[in-house]
Chain A
């Protein structure tokens, strides 16, 4: 579904992705690795937010190197960000319906009905008239998830979506993600939440220096005897 072929990306003189190749299919893939390993950059490249320097990314047969494909790829891969990035001038319902109305061309009434289903799914159907600034971080992030889901993407890209949240809000967001994962949504998840990864991932990918160091099913990954991965997991679980 998503094919990443020899992708390179550098910022100035720093190579963040080094001819990285990987395929993503159905299911939940959790991507881990140290800061600077290229996890977020990989997601941002798939979404076309960063232009790749070399290689190719193909989503459902569409190459990202063709400029005209970028918007369609973005419709297929909805992204959720660490900083939520909700539209501050719109209330919750308007935040969720703006893209179906203007990007997919769905009638306003239908879009609202659809939005209500997804807002119910993330547990926020009571808050549709609130503005983002009136919500907690966890609630804002759940709105952002609904806003991404309403596009019915082929894949959901989650970029450290709980890193700006306190533990309580983190678990309320991760619960929602687990529920969505169980419904069979394809997801690429960048996270540092080990126990969450263990529960939700079908496949674990470990990046280091812009390359894939490990790509295994979840059980094998967590019982790995690769020294680098063991050290990483120990450190992160110690925290």
Chain B
């Protein structure tokens, strides 16, 4: 077998465009996944039975069903109800909602791990409940969960490739298009494997760096 990597160089722009889209989808679903995850985490530990039940149902449902099916439901199922969105938007929403279920469990663990004395210390100074959540609980919960949330984000980036199934024009979609046009699957898929790896490996390095340099400061 002879390898023809020329096909890669000739179509590099097309692949990089896909990589850009992968990045775009990842960032927006990260934002959605983080904020929904944060809200769901607080709902789950809430004393309000209604809130905690909704949160549990949400988390268990999205963690116990395949992402591909969720994505198909959003893309092919919801239009039946008149809710139809573009492939990229659908991918962002589906990934965000799915990722939020995992994030919320991590953040919840972070909140639970906070020392009760820390909250009492804040209470005794006269902070309101809301201030304690905003100024003490959230920053500390995120500090201890920064790295697990980071690995969840990396997982999210890798999962964006599933969006090929609704042709979201991200890296995997473009690679597949290229492969069927050029009949060079080996070179093409090997290349994008390397691209995914470079992207996530450097990101995980960045996460560790930021954690060591800024986040873990003060953790005893």
Contact = CB atoms under 8 A, between A and B. Distances in A.
Interface of A: 47-49, 71-72, 74-75, 78-79, 81, 83-91, 98-99, 102-103, 131-134, 144, 147-148, 151
Given A98-B135, A102-B131, A131 B217 contact: yes
Contacts of A72: 126
A133 B126 contact: no
Nearest to A159: B124
A119 B144 CA distance: 28
B86 interface: no
Given A81-B117, A87-B118, A99 B126 contact: yes
A156 to B, nearest CB: 11
Residue of A49, A81, A83, A85 with highest tally of chain B CB at under 10 A? A85
Nearest to A100: B125
Interface in B84-126: 115, 117-118, 120-126
Contacts of A103: 125-127, 131
A79 B126 CA distance: 10
A89 B115 CA distance: 13
A83 B120 CA distance: 11
A87 B219 contact: no
A85 B120 contact: yes
B118 A47 contact: no
Given A85-B118, A89-B140, A78 B218 contact: no
B218 A99 contact: no
A103 B132 CA distance: 11
A85 B117 contact: yes
B136 interface: yes
A49 B118 contact: no
A29 to B, nearest CB: 18
Contacts of B128: 71
Given A71-B128, A78-B125, A102-B131, 4 more contacts: A88-B140, A88-B219, A131-B217, A132-B218
Contact of A102 (B123, B135, B140, B218): B135
A210 B143 CA distance: 41
B126 A49 contact: no
A133 B220 contact: yes
B118 A147 contact: no
A24 to B, nearest CB: 17
22 contacts: A74-B123, A81-B120, A81-B121, A81-B124, A83-B117, A84-B121, A85-B117, A85-B118, A86-B121, A87-B118, A88-B140, A88-B219, A89-B139, A91-B218, A99-B126, A103-B125, A103-B126, A103-B127, A131-B217, A133-B219, A133-B220, A148-B125
Contacts of B139: 89
Interface in B122-172: 122-128, 131, 135-136, 139-140, 143
A144 B140 CA distance: 18
Contacts of B219: 88, 133
Given A103-B126, A131-B217, A151-B126, A88 B118 contact: yes
B91 to A, nearest CB: 34
B124 A47 contact: yes
Nearest to B118: A85
Contacts of A78: 124-125
B220 A151 contact: no
